[in-house]
Amino acid sequence: MGLYLRFRKENPDDKKLIKDNSIFIKQDPIAFESFVAEVFGRSRGGNTWVTPPSGDYGVDFEHETKEGKYLGQVKCYKDDLDFEAIAILHSNIIKQGLQSGYVITTGDFTKNARKYAEGLNIELINGVQLVDLWLEGLENGEQEIKQVIPEYV
């Protein structure tokens, strides 16, 4: 929920805007795409780059590893994500002749979304799993620092 509140699009009609609350870190929703791409680069290795915010046809970032290229779509939602984002990403994977991709959300996925994704080789990552990847990436970064500066504790 913390990532959702950090990156969600603010509705001016909300009585409690996050940007008016000094307890929360608040970033633009577009920054969520960069955040997730960086998490993937740090936790899974390889190179990531974010696509332009408009005209991306449902691909928010690309992830290149030794195993190949993956496409990612991210959704900063409080509610469970339905299958549409999976279908759009799958279409892009097929168009580009790739094998796999990721759909990432701050919430979770509906039962229909999970059923739709079966057999498509698209990894569904919910908010809890995203935080786990984030922590894994931070740990990987710490290990890299320890290799460069052995006395780092």
115: domain range? Answer: 28-148
Q: How far apart are CA 101 and CA 122, in angstroms?
A: 5
- Does residue 143 belong to any structural domain of this protein? yes
What is the pLDDT, as a whole number, of residue 56?
84
Give the count of domains, the chain.
1
Rg (CA), the chain: 17
Single-letter amino acid, residue 77: Y
- Is pLDDT above 60 for 73? yes
Does residue 107 lie in a domain region?
Answer: yes
Is residue 18 in some structural domain? no
Calpha distance 17→29 (Å, rounded): 14
What digits encode the pLDDT tens for the residues 23-47? 556 667 788 899 999 999 999 999 9
pLDDT single digits (tens) 74-107: 998 889 999 999 999 999 999 999 999 999 999 9
Q: CB-side exposure of 112: number of CA atoms within 13 Å?
A: 7
The β-bridge partners of 21 are none
Quickly state the pLDDT bin for 143 (edges 50, 70, 90). low
Q: Which residue has the higher pLDDT, 58 or 16?
A: 58
| H or E element that contains 124 | strand 122-125
Q: What per-residue confidence (pLDDT) applies to 139?
A: 76
Sheet holding 122-125, edge to edge: 47-50, 61-65, 68-75, 100-105, 122-125
Confidence of residue 12 (pLDDT cuts 50, 70, 90): low
Q: The CATH number of the domain where 110 resides is what?
A: 3.40.1350.10
Q: Which stretches does DSSP call E strand in 3-81?
A: 47-50, 61-65, 68-75
Query: Is the residue at 117 inside a domain?
Result: yes
Looking at the chain, how many residues does it have? 153
Instruction: Kindly state the helix (H) or strand (E) to which residue 105 belongs, with its residue range.
Output: strand 100-105
Q: Return the pLDDT at 138.
A: 80
Structure tokens of 7? 């990156």
